[in-house]
A and B are shown apart, each in its own frame.
Chain A
Amino acid sequence: MNGKPAEPFKFRTRLTLTEVTGRRALNIAELLEGIKAADDAVVYHHTHRFIKQSHHLVPEGANDFAYWVTNTVQADRLGEELTSIDIVRYNSLAALRDAFVRMLERHLAENPGPMRTVAPGREFHFMRAIRFSLPTACAATDYESFIDCLRNVSASSLYLHVFEARLRPPYGVDDFSHWFKTNFGDEAVGREISRLDPYSYTLEGLRRRIIGIIERRLPEVLHG
């Protein structure tokens, strides 16, 4: 521990407004073209929003593209592959988009025959997320107040700091790990948090898990 007074960790939260682009896909080739043309706001909407929306349900390792391919196009193998794309391992939305593009291009190259077109009304709609970052009333200066905040902030705030933070500098690092490391020289919290997987927990489960990680550090921190 470096003994300096900590820079307060000010919890923020993320809200989105959904823009409908009007672009639709009726088959996998059109899905590919749509993803190729997608900007960051589109990629964000169909990957990051999905986890947040499902956070109260059982954990679901997927994104909108995988969900549509699996449940509507019923291309099970491709759906499974798209599900396996681990969105939090990419440091930019462009890199994430390229991963989807590569996978769909390979699928189309390997399956050149006629493709299934879904019924009207079951199209994939490309949407964009207009992102808003908001302050919350929660701020922490030490381990205990950090735990207090974790108990009270919204699931969106948790998601923003743990997963979405990895998309901005310092790339690939979540906000919590960064704060504990730079303010307390504590790298153990970071090591544990960086291993968390959004697909393995509901966000409420994730909240409990992070609280557990920091609580386990408390005796060591308090008693030197």
Chain B
Amino acid sequence: MAKIDEYLQAAGPSAIEELKVIASRLEGRTILNVNSTAVGGGVAEILSRMLPLMTELGIKPRWELIKGGEDFYAVTKKFHNALHGARQELTAADFQLYRDTLKANMETLDLDADIALIHDPQPAGLIDKKPAGAKWVWRCHIDLSNRQEDVWEFLRGYVSRYDAAVISAPSFSQELPVKQFQVPPSIDPLADKNKELSDAEVSDIMRRLEIPTDKPLISQVSRFDRLKDPLGVIEAFKKIQPYVTARLLLVGGSADDDPEGSQVLAEVRAAAEGNPDIIVLCLPPTSNIEINAIQRASAIILQKSLKEGFGLTVSEALWKGKPVIAGAVGGIPLQITHKYSGILTRTVEGTAYWMKRLLHEPAYARKLGENGREHVRENFLLTRHLRDYLLLALYLESGGLDFIHL
């Protein structure tokens, strides 16, 4: 795992110095994280990279996993979907199963810590066993703006007893009797998906993937899902083809285990059929360096989502200093200020217009990319994420002061 000083170049010396000062005020404190999985998923990925940094900074992080049977995860999956706005039927037995599983976990988990970050709905009910004097934070990674009422009311009973809640974007906030803080997710600049690559490394990977680089490349890296609008991307690209020399690359997973994804992929392939300048590429889920190289080889990166959670793939693209054209949905407008650090669009026509414009005005496109990278440096790197958690811990320890002098 990377050491804190390895982030100096990406985050800047001030950011690292600040982290060390803040952490020194929390030296020896135990910060417990509880979630439902050790591998896979954004939360586990962030924790596995963030917790070693906490240790290096003199804090004692702990990580506990909630355990449950398949039936429990079936219920929490329904919770998850319902909170995202996809209607689910939940029975009294489902809610009881949740209570029983949480109760069993309370008997086995070590919840002793000065501060606890409890991630998402699965472990939320552990609040019943919060130790006296500890500060507990419910960390919600889900967009709650279209949540299903009964599930939210059930969870609200638990969440209302925390010391604070943390959400990723202001639009995700809910009426709660506890304070809510905004801590956006982050990317790790040293992870394979984002680390610096030399031109030679990029060229090698592009050659290996058989992606020609003789024309400017416009790429969208996203699973084949209607909400990512790959067909809209192709339609927009076809509109500009008479006026530009460029190639479109759509990269996603194979969608083998996802019937709807397979259907979308088939439609995408049909739409690209016979057009030599549209490439559709399926890569295995471990292709992090490949995606990094593709983004670095691109002239423009698209994320034409119709609906999005936070949409952190936008920050990944911006981090490569590339001009990004993205749908103005979910957390994307927090990452892109239109015409300053990227382009926000709402239509196929708008996407086509801006692709053409950026291809024709490379100096402006370059400036957007530079601004976007700086915006990510300030706001969406792992070091800022860690800093926010530590500031929150200090705030809770202060008893809730608005102004804290360290």
Interface residues of A (CB under 8 A from B): 13, 15, 17-20, 22, 39-41, 53-54, 56-58, 71, 121, 123, 125, 127-128, 130-137, 152-154, 156-157
Contact = CB atoms under 8 A, between A and B. Distances in A.
A15 B18 contact: yes
Given A18-B182, A127-B170, A133-B404, A56 B18 contact: no
Contacts of B371: 56-57
Interface stretch (B110-118, B147-155, B221-229, B391-399): B391-399
A20 B181 CA distance: 5
A196 B277 CA distance: 52
A128 B402 CA distance: 9
Nearest to B174: A22
A153 B338 CA distance: 29
Contacts of B174: 22
A58 B340 contact: yes
Contact of A20 (B12, B15, B182): B182
Contacts of B405: 132-133
A19 B180 contact: yes
B240 interface: no
B403 interface: yes
A39 B403 CA distance: 13
B315 to A, nearest CB: 15
Contacts of B173: 20, 22, 125
B85 to A, nearest CB: 13
A121 B171 CA distance: 7
B378 A135 contact: no
Query: For the side of the interface on B, what is the size category?
Result: 35 or more
B402 A125 contact: no
Contacts of A17: 181, 388, 391-392, 395
B10 to A, nearest CB: 15
Given A15-B18, A130-B403, A137-B17, 8 more contacts: A17-B388, A22-B173, A40-B402, A56-B378, A123-B171, A134-B18, A152-B13, A154-B12
Contact of A125 (B14, B171, B181, B406): B171
Contacts of A156: 14
Contact of A13 (B14, B176, B182, B340): B14
12 contacts: A13-B14, A17-B395, A19-B179, A56-B371, A57-B371, A131-B404, A132-B404, A132-B406, A133-B406, A134-B22, A136-B17, A137-B17
Contacts of B392: 17
Contacts of B107: none
Contacts of A127: 170, 182
